[in-house]
Structure formats: C-alpha cells, structure tokens
Structure 1
C-alpha cells in the first residue's frame, strides 16, 4: 500500500468510527506498524486534517471535515452494494475484508441521502459457495496480476500429476465450482488455465512482465471472444 493510499485509508477509518480509534487498532486494520500509524497521524495533522486525540487514548476526526462526495445514482450504489456482498462467495478472505470496508465507505458517502442509505440495508447475498478449499492465498494471485510479476507454482493436474511452472498471471475467473488462474505458461509458451484448488504452492518472483501484460491479456481476451 502506497503512503498516499494509507493516509486516505486512515481518514476513512476515522470518518466511519463512532468512537475514538487507538493507534494500535488502526495499525491492526491497516496491517502496518504502530510507529507507521503515529507517523501518518502526525503527517495528516500537519496537513491541517482536523484529527483530535493522542497516543494511548485514541483519535477522532472532528465533524465538518469530508472528502469529495461519491456521486452514485441509486441504481449504481445498489449495484455496487450487491456486487460487494457477492464477493463473500469467492473464497478470498482479503477481498471479503475489503468488501466490508468499501461498503462502509459507500454507506458513509451517501449518508446525506437517507432513503438511499436505508435501501442499501435491504440487499444481501448468501455466503454459500461450492468452491473447494485452496492451499494458496488468492490475494497472492491477485497481487501477481496487479503488479505483473511472474509466479512460480506447483500444479497438480486432473490426473494427479504434479509439475512446476513459471507463469505470467493475467486474470482470475470466478466460477460457481472453482476459481481459475489465467496465465501465460513459460514452459508451454501458450495460455494455460490453472484451477486454484490444484495449486499446491506458489511464490511471487521478482521477474516483471509489465511491458507484455496488456498485450498478453488482450490476446487471451480475443481468443475467448471477449470485448
């Protein structure tokens, strides 16, 4: 997470809090060190963000401070809320935590539109899914896609044969019964699809393929008839 993104997240956490948040609690929510939180709070206060409080007691954002409004129509807000609720079915715990956080931000952003804010409480999605457990964190696959970094993985095919691959991850497909990683396989010199539940281990490599990522993704999409 970049520093600017982290500062934004600190403000959002304080905006949504109904009681003072301690530095330790903020650190846990952002998965950073307590020292980093104290440094970020000091930086925001230096930028005249009205944060009251102190270490060991907690912090509050004074009323009246806000970020630019999120301009969503009722249909758009409800569509996003339903989509966020459905993320619970992906089996990706990090995405689920992010969905809860994003939902709170949307609810806060439309607080001035009381009927819309109340309607958002009327949309739910079952947490049930038929996805098998995975040995790897899906967040690692998403990071590799986002940062265009190669992955080294051990994969067991349908016959049970195990192979080691170095791949260039391009996309994730969420089916009802499985999550599939779309990648360019260096071993096969072609596109391959890997079920996440058959990946026994994987690790991010330092090798970047950022210059080829868009081209490879476009080629894959064209091969599937996707616009």
Structure 2
C-alpha cells in the first residue's frame, strides 16, 4: 500500500470510529507495524490534520474536519457501479434516480484516464428485480422513517383480505422478489411486514410516533435477526 493511501485510510478510520483508536488497532486494520502508525500519525499532525490523543491512549479526529475531494481506485469504481446497478432492481424509483445521480457525480470527479471505465463499464447486473409499486411512493415511506411519521395504509394480503392499518415505518427491506415496508402495526400491536406492491394506498399522517433512540428498530432487528425473506413473512388479515 502506498503511504499516501495509508495516510488517507488512517483519516477514514478515525472519522468513522465511535471511540479513540489505539495505534495497535490501526496497525491491525492497515496490516502494518505499530511503529509505522506512530510515524504516520505524526506526519498527519504535522500537516495540520486535527488528530488528538497520545501513544497508549488512542487517537481521535476532531469533529468538523473534512477531507479534500476523493479519488477512487478501479476496484472502488467497480463497487460503485455494481451498487448502482443493483439499486435498479429494488423497484424504488427514488433510489434509482439517486443512483444515476451518484454515477454522474462520480464520472465528473474522475480524471480522463479513468472516466472511460464508466463510459463502457465491464460490469453487468441482471435487471430482474422487484416491481415498482403502483399505489404507494417509496419516497414517502423513506421520508416517514426519517421523520418518524405514522402512515395510514390500505393493505391486501396474499389471500385477498383487505385491512386498514396505521403503522410506524421503521425500515424498507429490498429483496429480489419483493420490497417490504417494515414497522410497528397499531392494529396488531406488533411488528409487521407489508409487501409494497400490495399496499393499495398510503398516506403520511401529521402524527409522529415516539422518539426512542432507535430502540424500536433494534427490537425489530432482534426479532428478525439478519433480515432474510423467510424470516420476514408479510402481514396477513388474520392475527399472525
């Protein structure tokens, strides 16, 4: 690894760390010696990167520090391409448009000798995926999650049973065969999953659900474990 790349990786590691990182932890991540990390930290501090801490105690990056514009490796460009193409399979037009915007911004940021890699990408992802829901805007669902807004939905399950629900949207789960809206259902007083293509209408309500510092989401994740289709059966009209 080039030293310039290593210095950048140290800054990145410190930016995302939730607690001070010791030189030993950084050395393990970067696969270098602790002595090398000490030298690199000293170099960054000499270049006025606001790294605070000391040997044996750990290091942290002062909040508010921004990196200069990033340069991507070919592997990183491939990762962005695959991710953007996979998003085309989600059935979420809002995210699909955002993915196209990301690719256009990355293209502008690349130098000429790398830009051709995006012009004719050597990457292909099957376009098969979930259908776009016709009666609910997934942008609204994601907005409800961010703002903790309740939603009123009319839902028809796989047996054709229609129910009206008020839900607290917590997450959107994108699978190849379907997109699920996951949340707390006031009718069932439990977590439920709703196929987006079976939601016949959805409306953001003015009422917000309680702020809980992420406990509802964590409780849901505990119940379903690592989200998998077989663990996330859709809600039905009965009291399942």
TM-score (norm 1): 0.63
After superposition, the Cα gap between the structure-2 partners of 1:166 and 1:75, relative to the gap in structure 1 and judged at 3 Å, is: same
Structure 2 gap segments, 5+ residues each: 1-66, 228-240
Structure 1 gap segments, 5+ residues each: 1-66
Asked if the contact 1:131/1:176 (under 8 Å) is kept, the reply is no
- How many Å separate the matches in 2 of 1:93 and 1:163? 26
For 1:216, the equivalent position in structure 2 comes to 216
1:173 equivalent in alignment to 2:173: yes
- How many Å separate the matches in 2 of 1:126 and 1:95? 17
Q: Which has the larger radius of gyration?
A: 2
Provide the aligned length of Structure 1 versus Structure 2. 159
Structure 1 moving runs of 4+ over 4 Å: none
Asked if the contact 2:166/2:185 (under 8 Å) is kept, the reply is yes
User: Tell me, what secondary structure is at the counterpart of 1:89?
Assistant: coil
User: Tell me, what secondary structure is at the counterpart of 2:187?
Assistant: coil
For 2:7, the equivalent position in structure 1 comes to none
CA RMSD in angstroms, aligned pairs only:
2.2
The C-alpha deviation readout for 1:77-119, integer Å capped at 9, x for no partner, is 321221111211112212111111111111222226x23x333
Higher-helix-fraction structure:
1
For 2:139, the equivalent position in structure 1 comes to 139
The C-alpha deviation readout for 1:194-213, integer Å capped at 9, x for no partner, is 01111000001121236136
- How many Å separate the matches in 2 of 1:106 and 1:210? 38
The alpha carbon displacement at 1:219 in A equals 0.7
TM-score (norm 2): 0.60
Asked if the contact 1:132/1:178 (under 8 Å) is kept, the reply is no
